[in-house]
Amino acid sequence: MLPSMRRTGIVHTRFQSLEIWKSELATEFRVAGALHASFHKTRFLTGLAWDLIAAAALLRKDGPPRSILMLGLAGGTAFRVLRHLLPDCKLTAIDIDSEIVGLAREHMELDALDIEVITTDAYPWLAQNQRQFDVVFDDIYLAGKTDVFRPQAWNPELLVHLRRATAPGGVLAVNLVTGAGHRKMQSLTRKILRDAFPRVRSLTTPAGMNEVLVVGEAVATRPQLDAYQENFRDWRDRVLWDRVEVRRIS
């Protein structure tokens, strides 16, 4: 949070109420008192979940992904990092909230990222989808009155749809909020993924309240991220990238 930021508006979409905060260089969307999306004109990383999401997409063992599917776009914070690191990658996003996508276009330069944005419910879309991607990322959360929540629990049917969307040699990743009220979902998701995949890696960062799990037949280790360090010109981005921790949990 930047000390010079001020609230410039409150917007109620069909699915959530958010506050827009701005400074000369940055914009934030805040939902239920928490940071929901972040944009900075000269920097990319935040020290929070979006750094983990971007890093997770780079742990494909066979090298940089050529296509990424993101379920849950919001302001496109993680995709902004990935577009910077992967200028030729095909980025596709599914988000049910067309209004927040519109706000991201207005306030966070979303259109500059060249994303294929599909505004629909991700779960029925997945059930019908026949496309495959090098990286599939599940970041589907909705906002309640006091906290965010996953609208659908992990189950065998959802896992089938996600695996079908993941290309051979690709990776599947999921963002999990941690802490009180979220531990049951975190434990359940860990168990399902450990049972289904030979490799499961966990990404965390010291200041964050999230864990990102990356799974597949093969998942790269932390040194693969080091190759991207020099892509960040601002020293603060390089420090935050170095703080991303990757560990094997199965």
pLDDT value for 164: 96
**Contact predicate 216/197, CB 8 Å:** yes
Q: Which long-range contacts (CB under 8 A, 24 or more apart) does 147-150 make?
A: 147/32, 147/34, 147/181, 148/31, 148/32, 148/34, 148/177, 150/185
pLDDT value for 244: 97
pLDDT value for 148: 53
pLDDT value for 31: 86
pLDDT value for 198: 93
Helix locations, 108-243, DSSP H: 122-128, 156-165, 183-196, 223-226, 235-242
**Contact predicate 171/60, CB 8 Å:** yes
User: Quick one: average pLDDT of 74-102?
Assistant: 96
| Nearest CA-CA partner of 113 in 104, 126, 100 | 104
Please check the confidence at residue 96 and state whether its pLDDT lies above 80: yes
pLDDT value for 158: 87
pLDDT value for 78: 96
Q: Which domains does the chain have, with CATH numbers?
A: 44-248 (3.40.50.150)
Q: Distances from the Cα of 39 to the Cαs of 26, 82, 132, in angstroms?
A: 6, 13, 29
**pLDDT one-digit tens code per residue, 231-249:** 999 999 999 999 999 999 8
| Nearest CA-CA partner of 138 in 167, 161, 109 | 161
| Nearest CA-CA partner of 135 in 70, 81, 194, 190 | 70
**pLDDT one-digit tens code per residue, 103-159:** 999 999 999 999 999 999 999 999 999 999 999 999 876 554 544 556 566 677 889
pLDDT value for 189: 83
> Is 0.85 topped by the overall pTM?
yes
2 pLDDT tier (thresholds 50, 70, 90): very low
Q: What percent of the chain has pLDDT over 90?
A: 75
**pLDDT one-digit tens code per residue, 188-227:** 888 888 999 999 999 999 988 899 999 999 999 999 999 9
Q: Which two tokens stand for residue 209?
A: 């309240």
pLDDT value for 191: 87
**How big is the chain, counted in residues?**
250
Q: What percent of the chain has pLDDT over 70?
A: 91
**pLDDT one-digit tens code per residue, 8-44:** 999 999 988 899 999 999 999 998 778 889 999 999 9
